[in-house]
């Protein structure tokens, strides 16, 4: 079991070492330049998830000590730093830590960055006012243990913001199960988990990271040690609801996103 967990973590390092989060949208720019990072940021908040800025509220944490678990290429943590938070970013992948550090240098912002395993954080109890992790903890083998670490390092009365993939989503049932699994016949030889590993995350090298998805009930159980938990749903692209997606009015797409989107956004108070 321990060997399997370490293999999953090795795969995660391989995936995001070779395919840094969002880097595929910035290939027309020199790596590590302001233009390169601007392209990643523009795609994330204007094209892929225009709801994120309002939903997360990056500028609400000025003066707070904030930890991001899984900083990737540093896109979200940069927004918190711009909003005045004192930020620490950690990642399992050495290249992600290097890229985030470089990105902060490009924008002349300060932060602390380190290599860490989400299941075994090195920080003392109650070290942070905010713990943020967006689309990361469903890739680690023991997600419950990682969320226990979020609880441990968070100060009492303070907030964790975590995104996990939503199993009760149109993407899961439409794109993964129906399209890939049934119509393309992949379920004849693979499990849903194997299909997600191959299809969910962008990879130019055939990466196969662990990918899990949860229902709201399962997410609440993972956060049971917190005093208050609020879960909202978002993230649905028109591509996921083809061929009718391009024909639907924006309000209907938004309505669907809030009920059957791919992201569970969990805000939990310790």
Would you say domain 2-269 falls under CATH 3.40.1190.10? no
How does DSSP classify residue 166?
B
**Are 16 and 204 within 8 A, CB to CB?**
no
What are the residues whose beta carbons fall under 8 Å from the beta carbon of 2, sequence distance 6 or more?
none
Under the banding of pLDDT at 50, 70 and 90, the label for residue 203 is: low
Residue 29 pLDDT greater than 80, yes or no: yes
pLDDT at 20: 72
pLDDT at 205: 65
The C-alpha atoms of residue 58 and residue 132 are separated, in whole angstroms, by 11
Centre a 10 Å sphere on the Cβ of residue 222 and count the other Cβ atoms it contains: 22
Residue 105 pLDDT greater than 90, yes or no: yes
Query: Which of these ranges, 69-83, 143-157, 198-212, has the smallest mean pLDDT?
Result: 198-212
By three-state DSSP, how is residue 53 classified? helix
What are the residues whose beta carbons fall under 8 Å from the beta carbon of 47, sequence distance 6 or more?
none
pLDDT at 8: 65
Residue 211 pLDDT greater than 70, yes or no: yes
Helical axes 75-82 vs 94-106, angle rounded to 10°: 40
**Are 58 and 80 within 8 A, CB to CB?**
yes
Query: What's the per-residue H, E or C state across 176-221?
Result: HHHHHHHHCCHHHCCCHHHHHHHHCCCCCCCCCCCCCCECHHHHHH
Residue 16 pLDDT greater than 70, yes or no: no
pLDDT at 59: 97
Residue 15 pLDDT greater than 80, yes or no: no
* Structure tokens given for 209: 């990271």
Give the residue extent of every domain in the chain.
Answer: 2-269
């Amino acid at each position: 079991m321990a060997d399997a967990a370490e293999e999953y973590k090795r795969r995660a390092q391989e995936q995001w070492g070779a395919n840094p989060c969002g880097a595929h949208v910035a290939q027309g720019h020199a790596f590590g330049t302001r233009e390169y990072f601007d392209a990643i940021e523009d795609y994330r908040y204007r094209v892929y998830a225009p709801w994120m800025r309002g939903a997360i509220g990056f500028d609400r944490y000025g003066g707070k000590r904030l930890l991001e678990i899984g900083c990737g290429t540093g896109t979200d943590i940069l927004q918190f730093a711009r909003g005045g938070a004192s930020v620490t970013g950690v990642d399992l992948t050495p290249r992600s830590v290097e890229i985030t550090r470089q990105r902060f240098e490009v924008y002349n912002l300060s932060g602390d960055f380190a290599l860490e395993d989400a299941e075994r954080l090195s920080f003392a109890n109650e070290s942070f006012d905010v713990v943020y992790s967006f689309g990361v903890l469903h890739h680690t083998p023991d997600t419950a243990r990682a969320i226990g670490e979020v609880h441990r390092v968070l100060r009492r009365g303070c907030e964790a913001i975590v995104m996990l993939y939503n199993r009760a989503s149109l993407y899961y049932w439409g794109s993964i199960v129906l399209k890939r699994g049934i119509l393309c016949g992949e379920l004849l030889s693979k499990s849903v988990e194997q299909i997600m590993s191959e299809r969910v995350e962008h990879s130019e090298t055939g990466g196969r990271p662990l990918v899990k998805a949860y229902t709201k009930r399962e997410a609440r159980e993972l956060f049971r040690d917190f005093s208050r938990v609020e879960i909202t749903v978002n993230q649905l692209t028109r591509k996921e609801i083809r061929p009718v997606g391009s024909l639907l009015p924006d309000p209907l797409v938004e309505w669907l996103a809030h009920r059957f989107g791919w992201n569970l956004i969990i805000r939990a108070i310790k």
